[in-house]
Amino acid sequence: MSSTQLSDMTQTQRDRLAFIELRMRFLGEIRRQDLVTRFGIQAAAATRDIGQYKNIAPRNLDYDTKGKVYVRSDWFRPVFEFSAERVLTWLSHGFGDGEPLRLRSLVPCESPGLLSKPDLEILSVLTRAIHKKCAVEISYRALSSGLTTREIVPFALADDGLRWHVRAYDRRSGEFRDFVLTRIADARLVTVRPEEREMSDQDIQWNRIAEIELVPHPANVQHPDTIEAEYAMENGVLRMRVRAAMAGYLMRRWNVDCTEDHSLKGSEFRLWLRNRQALYGVTNLIFAPGYVSQEKA
């Protein structure tokens, strides 16, 4: 996209064109109604925006007359530059649909960036597969088996606080698993439709909701009322509902002592899992501080 073309547009026009590209790149399609709903514009204005995007990137989208939808072409090449953080924020929260380069925070803000950033082209293959409910062939680097090729059926992205994963059915192992985005070296869509057993509603760990109770650590916290105020606890307890597939990650992220006798020492352990039995049967508790080690003992 040339600087001349940019200078001829208003900021709101750039926002809408960037939204068109985001939908096209990461979901593989866009309808006029998507623009109407997102920006509150008339259908005629949405048609003009799509036409303007086609003038800028004529090979990026085709019109599916049967489905009455604009679809991503095989020749797609992005014209807007987006950071991985911004794309993941848009995908997970739906905020910040517009062009990122002109946005500024209203007050000084700092936050730690992603230590490992996923490749956006690989991410776009996964998000399109999730949107279209189809499988993906990936080249994946695992610590145990090295680089392997496998087919997965992805259905959700998940942030564990440190890294982003894709939750998917793994045809190689016959199980639902988490795959770290930055360990995926290559990805391509597979046209064969998934079987019923590979769909998200068959993932027991993903669909099970655990109700957990966190309290100030009985041994490591000298002033529990400080922790109660920090986490907005009610009657000294923070009650949460979390997917079983994410429970271990949550415990690790917040350094929750998951031992039965709150025996982990250290100032980093300010919370204790009071109802340890709520995590019975959760499969990723290797990440929960103290849970697995005490089970083995």
* Number of domains present in the structure of the chain: 3
> How high is the pLDDT of residue 1?
46
95 and 38, same structural domain? yes
90 and 176, same structural domain? no
CB 181 within 8 A of CB 164: yes
134 and 85, same structural domain? no
Beta strand spans in the chain (E): 29-30, 61-64, 69-72, 135-142, 146-159, 164-170, 175-180, 184-190, 209-216, 238-243, 256-257, 271-273
98 and 10, same structural domain? yes
Identify any residues that bridge with 240 across adjacent strands, giving them in sequence order.
Answer: 212
Whether 80 is in a domain gets the answer yes
* One pLDDT digit (tens) per residue for the chain, 297 residues: 444 465 678 888 889 999 999 999 999 999 999 999 999 999 999 999 999 999 999 999 999 999 999 999 999 999 998 888 889 888 988 765 555 545 455 577 676 777 788 999 999 999 999 999 999 999 999 988 899 999 999 999 999 988 999 999 999 999 999 999 999 999 999 988 899 999 999 999 999 999 999 999 999 999 999 999 999 999 999 999 999 999 999 999 999 999 999 999 999 999 999 999 999 999 999 999 998 755 555
| pTM of the complete model beyond 0.85 | yes
227 and 139, same structural domain? no
Q: How far is it, in rounded angstroms, from Cα 149 to Cα 130? A: 19
Whether 84 is in a domain gets the answer yes
DSSP state of 201: G
Matching residue, tokens 């916290």: 221
Q: How far is it, in rounded angstroms, from Cα 223 to Cα 221? A: 6
Domain boundary, last residue among 148, 182, 200: 200
DSSP state of 234: B
CB 6 within 8 A of CB 14: yes
Whether 110 is in a domain gets the answer no
Domain CATH code at residue 157: 2.30.30
> How high is the pLDDT of residue 3?
44
189 and 134, same structural domain? yes
Whether 112 is in a domain gets the answer no
8 and 98, same structural domain? yes
87 closest CA partner among 131, 51, 117, 54: 117
Domain boundary, last residue among 180, 200, 220: 200
Q: How far is it, in rounded angstroms, from Cα 18 to Cα 86? A: 12
Whether 108 is in a domain gets the answer no
> How high is the pLDDT of residue 99?
56
Range of the domain at 176: 120-200
Whether 107 is in a domain gets the answer no
Domain CATH code at residue 53: 1.10.10
